[in-house]
Amino acid sequence: MITRNYWWLEVTKKVKQYVKKCDQCQKITNKAEMPVEKLRPNIVLERLWQYILVDFIVKLLVLRDYGSILVVCDRFSKILYFIVIIEKYSKRIG
């Protein structure tokens, strides 16, 4: 990239020498390493409700003591259930 704007005799040789000696350049360079683990294909789902995802939506406006929503999702059919729940607060000491 330096030869786009500058040129002198043995420019590439000088740049390679500089990069070899530069501590910061050595830390930034990409290292070619093997992946930690072999890649595996995704699990093929065969029936409903075999694998589910559960999440909470909390700290909503409180309406009739309900301040949270429990979200349940079936990974096979992508069916979602939103269940309104009561969120209780408790103080922890320590």
Phi, psi of 21 (to 5 degrees): -90, -20
Is pLDDT at 86 greater than 60 in this prediction? yes
Distance, CA of 90 to CA of 79 (rounded, Å) = 33
Query: Would you place residue 71 in the very low, low, confident or very high pLDDT band (cuts 50, 70, 90)?
Result: very high
Half-sphere CA count of 18, side-chain side, radius 13 A: 7
Half-sphere exposure (CA, 13 Å, Cβ side) for 67?
8
pLDDT tens digit string along 2-59? Answer: 788 888 888 889 888 888 888 887 777 666 676 678 888 888 888 999 999 999 988 8
Confidence category of residue 65, pLDDT binned at 50, 70, 90? confident
DSSP SS3 for 59: coil
